[in-house]
Structure 1
Amino acid sequence: MSEAAISLKDDPTEVVTRFAPNPNGPLTVGHVRGVVVNYHLTRKYGGRFILRYDDTDPRTKKPLKEAYKWIVEDCEWLGCPPDEVVTASENMLSYYEMAEKVLESGDAYVCTCEQRAFKTMKDQGIACQCRDLDVEENMSRWKRMFDDFPEGGAVLRVKTDIKHPDPALRDWVGFRIVDEPHPLTGDEYRVWPLLDFESAVEDHARGVTHIIRGKDLMDSGLKQKYLYKHLGWDYPEVILWGRIRIEGVGKFSSSRMSEEIASGKYAGWDDPALPTLRALKRRGISAKTLRDFMLSLGLHESAVKISMENIYAENRKNLDEATNRYFFIPDPVKLFVEGIPGKTVRMPLHPGFKQRGTRDWCMQDGTCLYIPGKDAKLSKDEIVKLMGLPCIAVDSVGDDGVRAHYMPGQHKKTRKIQCVQDFIECTILKPDGVDEGYCEPEVENLQAGTIVQFERYGFCRLDSKEGERLTFVYGHK
C-alpha cells in the first residue's frame, strides 16, 4: 500500500492531529505508527501535527524528565517533526476551570464513597448518594480536595449513564488526589486529571479535528463524548486502527525498561536488545524503513500481526545498494596456505557498483589468513573455496590452526568461507550477545555511523572507534 492509500473521507482542507505519549521513556517501535500516520495526514491535507505529553499521572506512569527531549528527537529522526509541543502538566488551571464548569452545571460530582463500595453499586447500575449532591456541596468538596481530603478520600466523577450497558463507562473518574512530586511541577499540584479528562480538554483547546489511534482506546472516546456534550463541544472525527502485534521484540514497557536499565541488565535506552527507536537507529534501521512500513499497514480496524523480520526485510531493500561489503571473522582461527601464487587480489566494495573501488590483498606462498571459528571444523583433504580467493585443500587441523595448500582449477559443490589477511580487532554488539573477531583493515577508515554489510554475517553500523578497536552494532541479516 502506498502513502496515497492512507486518506481521510471528504478530503478535508485542514487537518489537526496529535500524538500523545506518556513521557516515561523514549519512543519504541510500537509508537511509530501513531507518529507517522498522524504526521503524514497533516502533510497530505495541510494542517498541524501536535506532539502532546500526557503527563498527568505522577505515580503509576511517572514521567521521566529526560524523555520530554528524547521524544521530540525521536519524532524528528523519524522525519515527523511536530508543529507544536504541548505539555499537559503545564495546563492544570485549564483542567480545573473545566472541572468547575461541569460541577456547576450538575454534570459532575465529588464522590467520597469507598472505592470497592462504589464499584459494587456501579456494577449494579445503582447511583451512589454523592451523585445527587447540590452544586454548593460539590464545590465545597472540590475545594477540599486541594488541601483537606487524603489520597483516596475523594474523586471527581463525570456523570454519564449509570445504567450504561458497559459498567466501565458509568460515571468515570475525572480527577483524583495524588500526593506525589511531579518531575516538572514538583509539589505544586495534588489534584490530577485522569487521561480521559485531560485529553478531552486539550483536544478541544488545540482544535484537533481528527483523533487517529488504536482500537484499544475506543472506550476513551466514548467517555470523552459525555464530557464534550456537557460542555457543549463537538467531538473530533475518530479513526481507529486494529491492534498491532509485533513479534520479535518481547514484552517491554517503559517502566520495566527503566527498572532493568537501573539494575544494569541493559546498558541504556539505546541498548541493542531494546525496542526503542534509539536502539533501532543504533542498529542501522533507517527512519525511512519504519515510516514506509507503518504507512503500508493502512488504516483499518483489523488486528495486524507482524514480525521484526518484516521490518528487517524492508530495511534490507533500503540498505543493499548503499552499503559496501567487507568480511568479519568471529572467533578467528589461523589458516596457513602453502603454494598460493603471489599476486594482488582485488575484491569489489560492492558487486553492483564496481566504480566504488576494491579491497586489495597481496597474496603469497605461506600466507597466514584468519577464518571464522565455526568454519574451522574441517576434515583432512576437504576442499573449500575462500571467498574472493582460490580453492584450498586441507592438510591438517591442529591447536595452532588449519594448514592447507592451494588447489588450482574449478571445484564444484565446495563450502565457501570468508577470511581476512591483515585485520583490525572488532567487537559487534548484538541483541542477544557480543561477537569478538577481526575485520578487514579498510573498515578503520569509515566514519562512525557508517553501515556496512559483513558478508555471510549481516548489516552492522559502526558505533565507535577507540584506539585500534572498532565497535559495531548488529542490525540484521
Structure 2
Amino acid sequence: YEHARRLIEEGKAYACTCDRERMRRLRAEGVECEHRSREREWHLEMWDGMLSGRFGEGEVSLRLMGDMRSANTTLRDPVIMRIVDHPHPLKGDRYHVWPTYDFAVSIEDAVCGVTHVLRTSEFALRNELQDLIRSYLGMPNPTYVEYERFEFEGTPVARREIRALIEKGVIGGWDDPRLATVAAIRRRGIVPEALREFVLRYVAMTQSRKVYSWELLHAINRRLIDGTTPRMFFVDGPALLKLRGFEPVEVELPLHPEGHMGTRKIRASGELYVRFQDLLEVGVGGVLRLKHLANVRVLEIGDGRALGEALPGPPEPGMRVVQWVPVESAVPVRVLVPGPLFGPDGAFNEESLRVVEGYAERNVLNLKRGDRVQFERFGYCVRDSDEEPVFVFTHR
C-alpha cells in the first residue's frame, strides 16, 4: 500500500474507473483513457476510497503509468492494484485491495534480496515491466535466467489447462495420476531422486521446448526403487483353477528375489486364481509352473474356469511360470492405470485411466497408503487408499 501511494504521489500511477472491456480495448489500441491526465489529488482520493471500502470490485483500479504505445503490451499502463470482494483463502476478509502478480513479485523480489530469477521463457515479456516498477521505486533489478518448459507426451502442464480439466470433471484434481504435477507424480510412485536425475540429465536449462517420453523417467525410477520394493502376487483377468492331486500347503516366498527383504507366507489349497490368458496360451495338455508352488498340467479350460493336475518335480526349462492367488484368502484389488490424457492428434484419450481388477494375495493388506509393491508379471504399484485395496500403477 505504501509503495502504491508513493507511485501516485510521484505521478507514476493513477486511479482508473474504466471497466475491464474498455480498458482491454484501449490498451490494444494504444490509447490513453481520460483518467490518466486527471490531477494527482483526485487519484489519491480514489486510492483512499479503495482502501476504505467505498468502492466495490471492478469499480476502480490503480494502474501503472507506463507507455501506452510500447510494442511490449505489458507496459501499456497495466493494473497494479485492484479490489477483490471475495475472501482470500488464507487472509479471509482482512484485505480487499490486492496487488497484481507483477506488482507483488517485483517488490517482493527486491525486498527479499533476490539477485537471480530462474523461470520459463513465457515470462520474458514481463521482465521489462517488472524492471520498470522497481526502477520507479528505486529498487535493484535481478538477473533473469530463462529456460523453456518441458512436457511429457499427451500430458498438459499449463496451469490454466489443468484447471479447466478439473472444473469440467475430466480429471479428479491436481494429483490425478495422469498429470505431471509434483502431487500426481508422487501419487504415481515416482521418487524425488528419479525426478531430480531426470531433470538434470535430460532437461537441464534447455532453451528449446521439448516433449519427453514417460519411459525415460520410468527407467530411472525403476532402477532406484527395484532393490527396495517387495514382490507380491496379483492376478488380473483371473480364472478359477481347480487342481487334482494337490494337498493344501503353506509356502514361504521371498519378498525380493535377492532375498534381503525377508519372506512372506501363503497357504495354498486346491483352488487358485490364475490369469485366464496364461491358461489359454498354454492350452489344454500344456504344462505351466505355479511360482514357488507346483507344476500343473492343464486338463480343461472353460469360461473363466479350468481344471488342472498337480505334477511332481521342479520347473522345467522353458516352462511358463505364473503368479497365483488362493481363492480362500484372495483380496479383490483395483489398480488405476494412468495413460496419456491426449493422443498425438490432440483428441482426449478415453482410455487415459483404465481400471484393472483382479485378486491379490492377502499380504497386500499389510501395505499402507503410499507403500510401493511390485505385482509380479504386472508392474510396480503404489497403494492409494488405507480404506480399500486400491493401487495406482507406476510402471513395469
Task: Please give the TM-score of this superposition, normalised by the length of structure 2.
Answer: 0.80
The structural deviation recorded for 1:197 is 0.6
User: Partner residue of 1:47?
Assistant: none
Indicate the SS of the match to 1:145.
helix
User: Partner residue of 2:79?
Assistant: 173
**Distance of 2:29 and 2:391 partners within structure 1:** 60
1:111 and 1:131 in contact (8 A); partners too: yes
1:245 and 1:304 in contact (8 A); partners too: yes
The structural deviation recorded for 1:391 is 4.7
Match 1:373 to one of 253, 261, 276? 276
2:244 and 2:310 in contact (8 A); partners too: yes
Indicate the SS of the match to 2:87.
coil
User: Partner residue of 2:4?
Assistant: 99
User: Partner residue of 2:376?
Assistant: 455
CA displacement, residues 284-321 of structure 1 (integer Å, 9 cap, x when unaligned): 22122223323332123221322333322221111111
Q: How has the CA–CA distance of structure 1 residues 138 and 177 changed in structure 2, closer, same or farther, with 3 Å as cutoff?
A: same
What percentage of aligned pairs have identical amino acids? Answer: 34
User: Partner residue of 2:36?
Assistant: 131
Q: Aligned pair 1:334/2:240, yes or no?
A: yes
**Distance of 2:119 and 2:298 partners within structure 1:** 61
Q: Which stretches in structure 2 are left out of the alignment for 5+ residues?
A: 339-352
- Report matched runs for 1:349-360 at 5 Å: 349-351=255-257, 353-358=258-263
Indicate the SS of the match to 2:300.
strand
Q: Aligned pair 1:201/2:122, yes or no?
A: no
Indicate the SS of the match to 2:377.
coil
2:14 and 2:65 in contact (8 A); partners too: yes
**Distance of 1:170 and 1:347 partners within structure 2:** 70
User: Partner residue of 1:397?
Assistant: 301
The structural deviation recorded for 1:184 is 3.1
The structural deviation recorded for 1:241 is 1.3
The code of the aligned residue for 1:247 comes to E
- Report matched runs for 1:303-318 at 5 Å: 303-318=209-224
**Distance of 2:303 and 2:57 partners within structure 1:** 70
The structural deviation recorded for 1:346 is 6.1
User: Partner residue of 1:289?
Assistant: 194
The size of the alignment, in residue pairs, is: 374
The structural deviation recorded for 1:337 is 3.6
1:215 and 1:241 in contact (8 A); partners too: yes
Q: Which stretches in structure 1 are left out of the alignment for 5+ residues?
A: 1-95
**Distance of 1:120 and 1:250 partners within structure 2:** 31
Q: Return 403-412 or 143-152, whichever deviates more.
A: 403-412
1:383 and 1:391 in contact (8 A); partners too: yes
Q: How has the CA–CA distance of structure 1 residues 117 and 361 changed in structure 2, closer, same or farther, with 3 Å as cutoff?
A: closer
The structural deviation recorded for 1:225 is 0.8
**Distance of 2:57 and 2:292 partners within structure 1:** 72
**Distance of 1:122 and 1:471 partners within structure 2:** 53
User: Partner residue of 1:90?
Assistant: none
**Distance of 1:126 and 1:241 partners within structure 2:** 34
Q: How has the CA–CA distance of structure 1 residues 198 and 445 changed in structure 2, closer, same or farther, with 3 Å as cutoff?
A: closer
The code of the aligned residue for 2:140 comes to D
The structural deviation recorded for 1:459 is 0.9
**Distance of 1:457 and 1:183 partners within structure 2:** 43
CA displacement, residues 371-393 of structure 1 (integer Å, 9 cap, x when unaligned): 02333435322344444455543
Q: Return 166-175 or 315-324, whichever deviates more.
A: 166-175
2:238 and 2:304 in contact (8 A); partners too: no
CA displacement, residues 126-166 of structure 1 (integer Å, 9 cap, x when unaligned): 33333233322221222233434443332221122222112
The structural deviation recorded for 1:343 is 8.7
**Distance of 1:234 and 1:103 partners within structure 2:** 20
Q: How has the CA–CA distance of structure 1 residues 362 and 142 changed in structure 2, closer, same or farther, with 3 Å as cutoff?
A: closer
**Distance of 1:239 and 1:157 partners within structure 2:** 28
1:424 and 1:444 in contact (8 A); partners too: no
- Report matched runs for 1:35-74 at 5 Å: none
Q: Aligned pair 1:224/2:130, yes or no?
A: yes
Indicate the SS of the match to 2:229.
coil
Q: How has the CA–CA distance of structure 1 residues 315 and 110 changed in structure 2, closer, same or farther, with 3 Å as cutoff?
A: same
The structural deviation recorded for 1:457 is 0.8
Q: Aligned pair 1:211/2:117, yes or no?
A: yes
1:249 and 1:308 in contact (8 A); partners too: no
Q: How has the CA–CA distance of structure 1 residues 272 and 235 changed in structure 2, closer, same or farther, with 3 Å as cutoff?
A: same
**Distance of 1:282 and 1:114 partners within structure 2:** 43
**Distance of 1:399 and 1:300 partners within structure 2:** 55
**Distance of 1:206 and 1:185 partners within structure 2:** 21
The code of the aligned residue for 1:475 comes to T
The structural deviation recorded for 1:101 is 0.9
The code of the aligned residue for 1:163 comes to R
CA displacement, residues 52-79 of structure 1 (integer Å, 9 cap, x when unaligned): xxxxxxxxxxxxxxxxxxxxxxxxxxxx
CA displacement, residues 244-298 of structure 1 (integer Å, 9 cap, x when unaligned): 22335457756447646xx7974x7655455554444343221222233233321
Indicate the SS of the match to 1:192.
strand
User: Partner residue of 2:343?
Assistant: none
User: Partner residue of 2:58?
Assistant: 152
- Report matched runs for 1:109-128 at 5 Å: 109-128=14-33
CA displacement, residues 320-349 of structure 1 (integer Å, 9 cap, x when unaligned): 111122221124322234457999876543
**Distance of 1:331 and 1:397 partners within structure 2:** 14
Match 2:151 to one of 245, 268, 288? 245
Q: How has the CA–CA distance of structure 1 residues 248 and 413 changed in structure 2, closer, same or farther, with 3 Å as cutoff?
A: farther
Task: Please give the TM-score of this superposition, normalised by the length of structure 1.
Answer: 0.68
**Distance of 1:130 and 1:409 partners within structure 2:** 90
2:247 and 2:270 in contact (8 A); partners too: no
1:345 and 1:360 in contact (8 A); partners too: yes
Give the RMSD, CA atoms, in angstroms: 3.4
The code of the aligned residue for 1:454 comes to F
The structural deviation recorded for 1:453 is 0.8
1:427 and 1:434 in contact (8 A); partners too: no
Indicate the SS of the match to 2:222.
helix
Q: Aligned pair 1:185/2:88, yes or no?
A: no
**Distance of 1:127 and 1:269 partners within structure 2:** 41
The code of the aligned residue for 2:372 comes to I
Match 1:472 to one of 375, 391, 395? 391
